[in-house]
Structure 1
Amino acid sequence: MKTVVVSLLLALLVSANSFAQSSQLNQYTLGSGDLLKILVYGQEDLTLETRLTDIGVINYPYLGEVKIIGMTVGELENYIYEGLKGDYLVDPSVSVSIVEYRPFFVNGEVKNPGGYAFQPGLNIDKAAALAGGYTERASKTKVYIDRTVDGESVRIQADRYTPILPGDIITIEQSFF
Structure 2
Amino acid sequence: MKRRLKALTILTGMLVLLGVGTAAQQLPAIPQSPLPGDASATDPWTSGRYRLTPSDVLELTFPHVPEFNQTITVQPDGYVTLQNVGDIRVQGRTLPQLQQALYDAYEPILRQPVFTIVLKEFDKPFFIVAGEVRTPGKYELRGALTVTQALAVAGGFTGQAKHSQVILFRRFTDEMLEVKEINVKAMYAHRDLQEDHILRPGDTILVPKNLLSRIAPFIPTPGLGLYLNPFN
TM class by shorter-chain length? Answer: 0.5 to 0.7
Correspondence for 2:114 = 92
Summarize the Cα distance change of 1:149–1:66 in structure 2 as closer, same or farther, 3 Å threshold.
Answer: closer
Query: Using the alignment, how far apart are the partners of 2:205 and 2:157 within structure 1?
Result: 15
Partner of 1:57: 79
Q: 1:69 aligns with which of 88, 91, 101?
A: 91
Is 1:104 aligned to 2:127, yes or no?
yes
Q: Could you give the per-residue CA deviations for residues 92-139 of structure 1, whole angstroms, max 9, x where no partner exists?
A: 2223548445533210122221223334522112322443x2144244
Q: Please say if residues 31 and 102 of structure 1, whose CA atoms lie closer than 8 Å, have aligned partners that are also in contact.
A: no
Give the Cα separation in 2 of the matches to 1:73 and 1:18.
18
1:71 shift after superposition? 3.2
How far off is 1:158 after superposition? 2.0
1:164 aligns with 2:199: yes
Aligned partner (choices 24, 35, 46) of residue 47 of structure 2: 24
Change (3 A) 1:46 1:113: farther
SS of the equivalent of 1:18 reads coil
Instruction: Report if the CA contact (8 A) 1:107-1:171 is conserved.
Output: yes
The one-letter code sitting in structure 2 at the alignment partner of 1:108 is G
Could you say if the C-alpha distance between residues 134 and 80 of structure 1 is closer, same or farther in structure 2, counting changes exceeding 3 Å?
same
Equivalent residue number for residue 190 of structure 2: none
The equivalent residue for 2:22 is none
Report the alpha carbon displacement of residue 166 of structure 1 after superposing the two structures with TM.
2.3
For normalisation by structure 1, the TM-score amounts to 0.66
**Quick one: structure 1 residues 142 and 90, their matched pair in 2 at CA, closer, same or farther if it must change by over 3 Å?**
closer
The structure whose Rg is larger is: 2
TM-score (norm 2): 0.53
CA distance 1:149–1:166, change in 2 (3 Å): same
Letter aligned with residue 153 of structure 1: L
Structure 1 residues 155 and 96, CA gap change in structure 2 (3 angstroms): same
For 1:77 and 1:96, locate their aligned partners in 2 and report how far apart those are by CA, in whole Å.
11
Following superposition, the deviation at residue 74 of structure 1 comes to: 1.7
Distance 1:111-1:67 versus aligned 2 partners, 3 A rule: same
Per-residue CA deviation, residues 48-94 of structure 1 (Å, 9 max, x unaligned), is 363553x2111222322111134332221122233335635864222
Using a 3 Å threshold, how does the CA distance of structure 1 residues 33 and 82 change in structure 2: closer, same or farther?
closer
> Cα gap change, 1:99/1:38 in structure 2, threshold over 3 Å: closer, same or farther?
same
The answer to whether the Cα contact below 8 Å between 1:33 and 1:101 also exists between their aligned partners in 2 is no
Structure with greater strand percent? 1
Q: 2:199 and 2:131 mapped to 1: Cα distance?
A: 16
Percent of aligned positions that are identical:
20
| Count of matched residue pairs | 161
- RMSD value, Cα: 3.6
User: Is the Cα–Cα contact under 8 Å of residues 132 and 209 in structure 2 kept in the other structure?
Assistant: yes
- Distance verdict in 2 for CA 1:31–1:91, change over 3 Å: closer
Letter in 1 for 2:156: Y
How many Å separate the matches in 2 of 1:63 and 1:159? 48
SS in 2 for 1:167: coil
Q: Give the match's secondary structure for 1:17.
A: coil
